[in-house]
C-alpha cells in the first residue's frame, strides 16, 4: 500500500450529506475482487445519464475537478452497506483524502485499510475550504489541512496515522509481528499441549 504523508491537490466539493456506498459505487459493479478499474464507475448514477454520457453539472465531470485527489463532503459520508469497493473506487479514481464532518464507521475503517485518509472537520471548515481557489494540502504528519492561507487541524488515532504513514495493509501489519506470533505459538504449546491438533 502506498504511504500517505503530505498530499497537495485539487479538492472537489460534493457537499451532500448521507452519501452512501451505493451512490459511491452501485451494486452492479461489486462482482469483482480486483481493486483496479472501479474508478470509472465512481458515482455512476449521478456522474452519467442513462445512455452513459457524462452529466456536465456533476462536479467530477468539470475542470479542474476531473483530476481531484481530495473530496470535500457532508456529514455521514460512506453510510449504507459495508462494501469495501467504495474506497477502492475512490482511490482508483485518484481520491486519496476525504474531508467531511463525519463518516460511517465501517467506511471509515475501510479507508485506512486501503490507503485513503478520512479527515473529520466541522462543516463550517469544510465549506470554507470548498470556497478556496487553488489546491489544498493535507499534511498527515502535522495533522493539518491548509489552503488559501488558512490552516485547520484535525485529530486522528495514532495507530491509524502510523498505518497510513508507513503504508501498511492488513497483511504487512501482521507480518510485522511474525516474531511475536511465533513466540506465542511456542509458549502456547508448552503451556497447553492438549490444545494441539494431531492427525493420525
C-alpha span between 86 and 111 (Å, rounded): 9
**pLDDT given at position 172:** 63
Q: Which H or E element spans position 9?
A: strand 6-9
Kindly state the percentage of the chain with pLDDT values over 90. 75
Provide the CATH number for the domain around residue 88: 3.20.19.10
Count how many domains the chain has: 1
pLDDT in tens, 11-65: 999 999 999 999 999 988 888 777 788 999 999 999 999 999 999 999 999 999 9
Q: Give the β-pairing of 136-139 and 144-147.
A: antiparallel
Domain assignment present for residue 1? The answer is no
CA torsion through residues 88, 41, 75, 124, sign:
positive
Cis-peptide, bond into residue 95, ω within 30° of zero: no
Task: Establish if 113 belongs to a structural domain.
Answer: yes
Does residue 196 sit in helix, strand or coil? coil
128 domain residue, yes or no: yes
Residue 112 resides in a domain: yes
Q: What angle do CA 91, 159, 34 make, to 5 degrees?
A: 30
Place of cell 467530477: 60
- For all residues of the chain together, what is the average pLDDT? 91
Whether this model's pTM surpasses 0.95:
no
Rg (CA), the chain: 20
What is the spatial distance between Cα 120 and Cα 108, in angstroms, rounded to a whole number? 10
3-state DSSP assignment of residue 72: strand
**Quick check: is 120 in a domain?**
yes
Cell 462494501 belongs to residue? 83
Q: Is residue 198, in this structure, part of any structural domain at all? A: no
- The parent domain of residue 95 ranges over 6-193
Residue 200 lies inside a defined structural domain of this protein: no
Query: 25-39, 79-93, 186-200: which range is least confident on average?
Result: 186-200
Amino acid at each position: 500500500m502506498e504511504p500517505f504523508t503530505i498530499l497537495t491537490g485539487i479538492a472537489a466539493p460534493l457537499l451532500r450529506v448521507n452519501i452512501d456506498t451505493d451512490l459511491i459505487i452501485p451494486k452492479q459493479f461489486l462482482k469483482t475482487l480486483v481493486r483496479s478499474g472501479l474508478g470509472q464507475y465512481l458515482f455512476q448514477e449521478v456522474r452519467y445519464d442513462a445512455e452513459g454520457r457524462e452529466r456536465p453539472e456533476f462536479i467530477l465531470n468539470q475542470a479542474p475537478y476531473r483530476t481531484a485527489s481530495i473530496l470535500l463532503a457532508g456529514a455521514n459520508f460512506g453510510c449504507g452497506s459495508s462494501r469495501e469497493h467504495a474506497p477502492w473506487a475512490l482511490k482508483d479514481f485518484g481520491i486519496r483524502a476525504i474531508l467531511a464532518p463525519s463518516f460511517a464507521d465501517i467506511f471509515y475503517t475501510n479507508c485506512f485499510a486501503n490507503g485513503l485518509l478520512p479527515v473529520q472537520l466541522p462543516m463550517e471548515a469544510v465549506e470554507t475550504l470548498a470556497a478556496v481557489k487553488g489546491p489544498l494540502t493535507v499534511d498527515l504528519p502535522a495533522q493539518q489541512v491548509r489552503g488559501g492561507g488558512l490552516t485547520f487541524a484535525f485529530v486522528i488515532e495514532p495507530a491509524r496515522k502510523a498505518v497510513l504513514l508507513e503504508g501498511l495493509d492488513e497483511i504487512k501489519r501482521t507480518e510485522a509481528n511474525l516474531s511475536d506470533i511465533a513466540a506465542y505459538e511456542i509458549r502456547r504449546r508448552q503451556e497447553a499441549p492438549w490444545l494441539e491438533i494431531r492427525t493420525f
